[in-house]
């Protein structure tokens, strides 16, 4: 099973180094709120990944691969990302510019888990990746038993979560040199990134409806 675990780590590292809105969300949360909050975003991302792995394992990957489903996910995920983007552009950046970064209660901290879950879960590329991972495990690596699948995906998920927390830790180290103006710029840039990714999802979904 060592080779199965090693293959899982390799695939996990590939996913971990893909740059997308999740990466910038973890970066922003860690710099503004600290390592713990960035880690909460990472946990939310990991939970959405687990959901997709379970869906793929139980044979629903063909449903997720349906163009119609991907179109709805593209539109839904695109609008969510754009809404979050405008929130960071119009509200969050203005608050941080004014130094309005208040303390977080337990309920508000939980929102960061939900944020990570939604930003990762609503991207159509995420289920595509996991469908590809299942195909890779079955066809390329030749895994057929439930034990092999369990070990493989456990190490994939652990690797992704560990690297996301590492990103949060490294980003959190920058807090001591970040000013309110820097936070405003970070939130503004994150807002632009989310709007761009959201617009791209809607554009791709539109192309799928025309094809």
Tell if the pTM clears 0.95, that is, is over it: no
In sequence order, which residues have a C-beta less than 8 Å from that of residue 168 and are 6 or more positions away? 26, 29, 30, 35, 37, 38, 39, 41, 42
Domain spans of the chain, in order of start: 2-13+21-210
Q: What SS3 state is found at 103?
A: coil
Q: Could you tell me the end-to-end alpha-carbon distance of the chain, in angstroms, rounded to an integer? A: 43
Rounded Cα distance, 173 and 102, in Å? 19
> What is the per-residue pLDDT across 106-162, written as a single tens digit (0 to 9) for each?
567 788 899 889 888 877 667 767 877 776 777 667 777 778 888 999 999 999 999
Which tens digits make up the pLDDT trace of 24-38?
788 888 887 888 888
Which pair of structure tokens corresponds to residue 99? 């130094």
Count Cβ neighbours within 10 Å for each residue of 57-75 and write b for 16 or more, e otherwise: eeeebeebeeeeebbebbb
With b for 16 or more beta-carbon neighbours within 10 A and e for fewer, the 110-142 pattern comes to eebbebbbbbbbbbbbbbbbbbebbeebeeeee
CA distances from 185 to 37, 66, 87, 97, 190 (A): 19, 39, 14, 9, 8
**Cα separation values, 198 from 1, 89, 96, 150, Å:** 40, 14, 23, 33
Helix (H) / strand (E) element for 82: namely helix 67-87
User: Per residue in 147-205, pLDDT tens?
Assistant: 888 899 999 999 999 998 998 888 777 766 666 676 677 778 777 877 887 787 788 77
In terms of Cα–Cα distance, which of 119, 108, 152 is closest to 47? 119
């Amino acid at each position: 099973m060592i080779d199965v675990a090693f293959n899982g780590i390799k695939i996990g590292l590939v996913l971990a180094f893909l740059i997308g809105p999740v990466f910038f969300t973890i970066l922003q949360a860690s710099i503004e709120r600290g390592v713990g909050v960035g880690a909460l975003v990472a946990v939310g991302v990991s939970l959405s990944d687990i959901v997709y792995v379970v869906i793929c394992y139980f044979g629903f990957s063909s449903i997720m691969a349906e163009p119609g489903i991907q179109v709805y996910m593209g539109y839904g995920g695109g609008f969510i990302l754009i809404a979050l983007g405008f929130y960071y552009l119009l509200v969050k950046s203005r608050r941080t510019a004014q130094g309005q970064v208040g303390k977080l209660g337990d309920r508000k901290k939980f929102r960061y888990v939900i944020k990570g879950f939604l930003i990762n879960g609503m991207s159509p590329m995420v289920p595509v990746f996991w469908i590809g991972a299942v195909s890779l495990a079955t066809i390329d690596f030749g895994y057929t038993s439930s034990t092999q699948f369990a070990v493989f995906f456990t190490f994939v998920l652990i690797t992704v979560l560990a690297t996301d927390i590492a990103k949060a830790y490294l980003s959190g180290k920058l807090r001591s040199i970040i000013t309110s103006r820097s936070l405003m710029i970070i939130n503004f840039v994150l807002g632009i990134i989310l709007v761009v990714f959201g617009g791209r999802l809607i554009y791709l979904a539109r192309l799928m409806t025309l094809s």
